[in-house]
């Protein structure tokens, strides 16, 4: 290693390169880095001189990285994470830490899981800053790039989902927090309730009904729909909405049926006059999983956060708190 040559490189330029690779736009990169576009352009020119490559070409759709920039982008996240960890204390002391951690969570996890670990985290580390975002289709990529620290999502969003445990992207580690089952919600006094009490609740009737569905990762279908399709069936999805509480409200004010995780159904039932019905056929359980980048496996702060979340959720589950 030639340390003399390395000493002449401004390592801040590598951070700028990483953000440019992620955003592929000078405007967006400058906004993220809190720089003017002029200052960022000057830094990009310094990068080009230092690395001996144009790095990006301007196109009608933004910046297009060169082949060399793409190669650098494959190595940079791990290198920058390593540099970041070098600047951290050798241990993590929750009571005095003022670090910042970010989460991306599916909407149902905010109600189902967040209340059980947010207290233990902040009671023991009162100066932490925790940023949470809604889990989206790009969240897995953000985990890989180190843009967010943790993800909490379900495993059965759809069969092609990256959240299938046997198809997690390279470098993503996971821990199952708890498993849940799917149930159905209908409004109070819905005609189907009397049919259910009379023992006339089956797959055929379920398929005849109109359904409200939550759109996950931009996808209208869940694993349940793919399961039914494999059996030659299809639900009548009359309404799709972006969130669980919206779907619960639609369900409470119409004859639509809402199929969802049982843990969230109990929370919806506190707000609306809804009745729970069992799913009228066998279906695989849903698992809520904690996700993180494996490069942080032994990082003390990340490790403490993970252990606290897993312990808090396990205690809540053991005490049957999640179901009450």
Sign of CA dihedral 244, 246, 247, 249: positive
Question: What is the per-residue pLDDT for 112?
Answer: 86
- Three-state DSSP string of 37-80: HHHHHHHHHHHHHHHCCCCEEEECCEEEECHHHHHHHHHHHHHH
257's CB contacts (< 8 A; 6+ apart) are: 184, 185, 186, 192, 206, 209, 210, 211, 212, 251
Q: Examine domains 3-86 and 98-178+287-318 and report if their fold is the same.
A: no
pLDDT for 324 equals 46
Residue 165 pLDDT: 60
CATH topology for the 98-178+287-318 domain: D-Maltodextrin-Binding Protein; domain 2 (3.40.190)
**Average pLDDT rounded to a whole number, residues 90-110:** 89
pLDDT at 6: 62
**Residue 213 in contact with residue 222, Cβ under 8 Å?**
yes
Which long-range contacts (C-beta less than 8 Å, at least 24 apart) are formed by 71-79? Answer: 72/17, 72/21, 73/18, 73/21, 76/14, 76/17, 76/18, 76/21, 77/18, 77/144, 77/145, 77/146, 78/295, 79/14
The per-residue pLDDT for 3 is 55
pLDDT at residue 118 tops 80 = yes
Residues 196, 316: contact at Cβ < 8 Å? no
Q: Which CATH number is 3-86's, of 1.10.3720.10, 1.10.10.10, 1.20.1600.10, 1.10.357.140?
A: 1.10.10.10
Structurally, at CATH architecture level, domain 182-284 sits in 3-Layer(aba) Sandwich (3.40)
Q: Which of 49-58, 136-145, 290-299, 301-310 has the lowest mean pLDDT?
A: 136-145
Q: How far apart are CA 208 and CA 170, in angstroms?
A: 42
Long-range contacts of 62-71 (CB under 8 A, 24+ apart): 62/24, 62/25, 63/20, 63/24, 63/25, 63/26, 64/24, 65/21, 65/24, 69/17, 69/21
pLDDT band at 158 (very low <50, low <70, confident <90, very high): very low
Is residue 167 scored above 80 in pLDDT? no
Contact between residue 46 and residue 13 where contact means Cβ atoms under 8 Å apart: yes
Q: Is the pLDDT of residue 186 over 90?
A: yes
**pTM reported for the whole predicted model:** 0.70
Query: Each residue of 142-156: pLDDT tens digit?
Result: 898 888 999 998 876
Q: Work out the pLDDT band at 245, boundaries 50, 70, 90.
A: very high
> Does residue 157 surpass a pLDDT of 50?
no
Alpha-carbon gap, residue 145 to 158, rounded angstroms: 23
Neighbours of 251 (CB within 10 A): 26
Mean pLDDT of 162-185: 82
Domain borders along the chain are 3-86, 98-178+287-318, 182-284
Measured CA to CA, the distance from residue 63 to residue 148 in angstroms comes to 23
Whether residue 196 has pLDDT greater than 80: yes
Residues whose CB is less than 8 angstroms from the CB of residue 83 and which lie 6 or more positions away in sequence, other chains included: 11
| pLDDT cut 90: percent of the chain above it | 56
Q: Which helix (H) or strand (E) holds 238?
A: strand 236-241
The larger pLDDT score, comparing residue 251 to residue 61, is at 251
pLDDT tens digits for range 247-257: 999 999 999 99
d(CA 40, CA 33): 9
Pick from 297, 207, 301: which is nearest to 259 by CA? 207
CB 108 within 8 A of CB 244: yes
**What is the per-residue pLDDT across 201-235, written as a single tens digit (0 to 9) for each?**
999 999 999 999 998 777 778 888 888 998 999 99
pLDDT of residue 79: 83
Give kind and range of the element (H or E) at residue 87: none
Is the pLDDT reported for residue 312 higher than 70? Answer: yes
pLDDT higher than 50, residue 323: no
């Amino acid at each position: 290693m030639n340390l003399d040559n390395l000493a002449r490189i401004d390592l801040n330029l590598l951070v700028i390169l990483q953000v440019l690779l992620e955003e592929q736009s000078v405007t967006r990169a400058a906004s993220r880095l809190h720089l003017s576009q002029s200052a960022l352009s000057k830094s990009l020119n310094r990068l080009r001189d230092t690395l001996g490559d144009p790095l990006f070409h301007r196109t009608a759709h933004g910046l297009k990285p060169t082949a060399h920039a793409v190669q650098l982008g494959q190595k940079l996240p791990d290198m920058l994470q390593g540099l970041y960890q070098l600047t951290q204390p050798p241990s993590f002391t929750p009571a005095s830490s003022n670090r910042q951690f970010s989460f991306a969570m599916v909407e149902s996890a905010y109600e189902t899981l967040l209340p059980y670990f947010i207290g233990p985290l902040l009671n023991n580390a009162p100066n932490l800053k925790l940023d949470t975002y809604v889990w989206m289709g790009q969240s897995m990529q953000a985990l890989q790039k180190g843009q967010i620290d943790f993800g909490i999502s379900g495993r059965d969003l759809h069969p092609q989902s990256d959240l299938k445990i046997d198809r997690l992207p390279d470098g993503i580690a996971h821990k199952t927090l708890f498993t849940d089952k799917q149930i159905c919600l209908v409004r109070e006094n819905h005609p189907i309730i009397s049919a259910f009490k009379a023992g006339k609740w089956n797959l055929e009737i379920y398929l005849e009904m109109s359904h409200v569905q939550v759109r996950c990762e931009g996808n209208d279908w869940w694993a349940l729909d793919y399961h039914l399709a494999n059996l030659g069936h299809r639900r009548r999805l009359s309404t799709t909405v972006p969130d669980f509480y919206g779907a619960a409200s639609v369900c409470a004010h119409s004859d639509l049926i809402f199929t969802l995780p049982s843990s969230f159904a109990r929370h919806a039932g506190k707000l609306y006059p809804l009745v729970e019905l069992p799913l009228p056929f066998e279906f695989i359980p849903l698992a809520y999983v904690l996700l993180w980048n494996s490069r942080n496996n032994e990082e003390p702060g990340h490790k403490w956060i993970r252990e606290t979340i897993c312990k808090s959720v396990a205690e809540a589950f053991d005490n049957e708190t999640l179901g009450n």
